[in-house]
Chains A and B, each alone.
Chain A
Amino acid sequence: MHEFLTALGDFAFLRYALAGGLLVSVAGGIVGSLVVTRRLTALAGGIAHFVLGGMGGARYLSKVHGIEWLSPLHGALAAALLAAVIMTFVRLHAKEREDTLIGALWALGMAAGVLFIWRTPGYNEDLMAYLFGDILLMSRGDLVVIVILDAIVLAVAFGFYGQLVAVCFDEEFARLRGLPVDLFYFVFLCLTALTVVVLVTVVGVVMVIALLTLPVAAAGKCSTRLWQMMALSTVFIAGLTTLGLAVSYDANLPTGATIVMLAGVLYVVVTLGWKALAYVRAHSRG
């Protein structure tokens, strides 16, 4: 750990990575809580994989067609929002099975990403970074994007907390009380899409769903109100990214995978701990 702290003073890229990990925790904790309580984990996974198509497409356009300002992050944001629009449209207008469509987006996004990357000259190391994340590539521009997203997510969560609880808990009742439930759903999917994109920069397309759900599920065990779940999830994600960064630096391991593994450990420990606590309570009473 001492080694990591010394390096933190020496290397700007490590400081960016640390800041990035702390900043994504705000959007991740709040949006993750909504995704988990509304049981839309599969949808978030579908969006995450669809994003690969956008990243590959943006890189292809920038390298092959010389549109240099276009970065993979731009492509990812565009693809994620497109997925949110498609999913909302399908839910409201088409009578398709939602889970089938999620699967289609999931696979087609991956296929498009692979084809674009194949056609783009250069090293395939980028593909690895997209798939498994590389928090060490975090740039100042990425940090700005994450801060903006955090601000939007916080504004929505504070401004519409009561409505969000109602829509997640009982959508039909919320509709009967006159809430624009479909609009909420669309905004919610857009925020999910954007959050997925920033989490992809940390842990990659394949593992993003772990960071969006494991800390949140652990937080849910110890929360009796939605805002507690959001706050605790944020703390958990911040702790996991920081610890993951430190451990992976000291032990020379890939950061994304280390963070996700720690998230898994946290989830198992909290779940078992909670069960043990309930057991002890039940037996100390009787």
Chain B
Amino acid sequence: MRRQASLHAGDAPALAFDRVWFAYEAPVVLEDVTLSIPRGDFVSLVGPNGGGKTTLLRLALGLVAPTRGKIGVLGMAPADARRFVGYVPQHQVFDAQFPVTVMDVTVMGRLGLARSLGPYGRREKELAREALGKVGLLDARDRPFSTLSGGQRQRVLIARALASAPELLLMDEPTANIDSPALVELYDLLRLLNQAMTVVLVSHDLGFVSRLVRRVVCVNRTVTTHPVGELSGAEMQRLYGTAVHMVRHDVHGDGGGCGCTSS
């Protein structure tokens, strides 16, 4: 299942937080977070708004530095690991009028990996086309990004991340503003991608997440990890919205301490 091609500290976990604290100003956003996500894992960060999910992602990307503690990404400092990390931001944040095509967006994933002066080379465009093929949007490569549906935009942003051949895929709210047929496609796509890389996503949609991921990390200032219970599709439907029951509290002695609620 797991790709062996890793060039560096092969045994280091994809993501390791060691007693990490973080505060922007006075209130503490993350408190004494210790967390280890092995390679090849498929994990979702869940928790209420303002609970620190996005901050955790930003720490992993090295966009902010921890107040205290240590973070390792693929055995490296977060900033050094960036070139092996594919980041997929929320698709709604983009200027709808910006004049770019699907191909223009995808090939951005090659920045920093190719020669930096002049237009993109043939190889970069080929890799971008490959990535678009993986997400099923090769035929849409010349369409303006602004004419795509939410689900399609999401997949273009995934293709952009894939174009850099990442070992770790970090996604921020991939399910936000996506209709249900698109969700099914996204579900299948992420399952496929997980065969080749570690996937960590932030999501509110616990129904979606619990069918897909192996472990759920509840983030609400502190962090607790839960394996996803063996629940059938029917039960999932019934429990939808009462997400707190969908994950079994971990056996490692932190049971009952989860501040995770269905938000």
Query: Is B truly associated with A?
Result: yes
Q: Which residues of A contact B (CB under 8 A)?
A: 37, 39, 158-163, 165-166, 168-170, 172-179, 220, 223-226, 228-229
How far apart sit A173 and B105, CA to CA, in the bound complex (Å)? 11
Residue pair B108, A165 in contact (C-beta under 8 Å): yes
Contacts of A225 in B (CB 8 A): 99-101, 104
Interface stretch, picked from B9-17, B115-123, B201-209, is B115-123
Taking the nearest CB of chain B, how far is it from the CB of A13, in angstroms?
A: 38
How far apart sit A11 and B87, CA to CA, in the bound complex (Å)? 60
Residue pair A160, B117 in contact (C-beta under 8 Å): yes
Residue pair B100, A169 in contact (C-beta under 8 Å): yes
Taking the nearest CB of chain A, how far is it from the CB of B226, in angstroms?
A: 29
Instruction: Determine whether B83 belongs to the interface, using a CB cutoff of 8 Å to chain A.
Output: yes
Instruction: Determine whether B144 belongs to the interface, using a CB cutoff of 8 Å to chain A.
Output: yes
A interface majority secondary structure: helix
Assuming the contacts A162-B108, A175-B63, asked whether A224 and B144 have C-beta atoms less than 8 A apart, the reply is yes
Provide the B55-97 mask, 1 if CB < 8 A to any CB of A, else 0: 0000001010000000000000000001101010100001101
Contacts of B104 in A (CB 8 A): 165, 225-226
Instruction: Determine whether B164 belongs to the interface, using a CB cutoff of 8 Å to chain A.
Output: yes
Residue pair A179, B112 in contact (C-beta under 8 Å): yes
Contacts of B61 in A (CB 8 A): 176
Contacts of B101 in A (CB 8 A): 224-225
B interface majority secondary structure: loop
Contacts of B85 in A (CB 8 A): 176
Q: Which residues of B contact A (CB under 8 A)?
A: 61, 63, 82-83, 85, 87, 89, 94-95, 97-101, 104-105, 107-109, 111-113, 116-120, 144, 160, 164
Residue pair B99, A163 in contact (C-beta under 8 Å): no
Interface residue from B94, B95, B116 paired with A163 (Cβ < 8 Å): B116
Taking the nearest CB of chain B, how far is it from the CB of A235, in angstroms?
A: 15
Contacts of A168 in B (CB 8 A): 98
Contacts of B82 in A (CB 8 A): 176-178
Interface residue from A159, A170, A179, A228 paired with B99 (Cβ < 8 Å): A228
Taking the nearest CB of chain B, how far is it from the CB of A85, in angstroms?
A: 25
How far apart sit A225 and B141, CA to CA, in the bound complex (Å)? 12
Residue pair A226, B111 in contact (C-beta under 8 Å): no
How far apart sit A165 and B95, CA to CA, in the bound complex (Å)? 13
Interface residue from A37, A158, A170 paired with B108 (Cβ < 8 Å): A170
How far apart sit A176 and B61, CA to CA, in the bound complex (Å)? 8
Residue pair B118, A159 in contact (C-beta under 8 Å): yes
Q: Which of A160, A168, A174, A177 has the most CB of B within 10 A?
A: A177
Residue pair A173, B63 in contact (C-beta under 8 Å): no
Contacts of A229 in B (CB 8 A): 99
Those 7 A-B pairs whose CB atoms lie nearest each other, nearest first: A178-B112, A177-B112, A177-B111, A224-B144, A166-B108, A223-B99, A229-B99
Contacts of A173 in B (CB 8 A): 87, 89, 108, 160
How far apart sit A163 and B89, CA to CA, in the bound complex (Å)? 18
Taking the nearest CB of chain B, how far is it from the CB of A39, in angstroms?
A: 8
Contacts of A163 in B (CB 8 A): 111, 116
> Can you give 20 A-B contacts (C-beta < 8 A)?
A37-B99, A162-B107, A166-B108, A169-B95, A169-B100, A169-B108, A170-B94, A172-B63, A172-B89, A173-B89, A176-B63, A176-B85, A176-B87, A177-B108, A178-B111, A220-B97, A223-B99, A224-B100, A225-B104, A226-B100
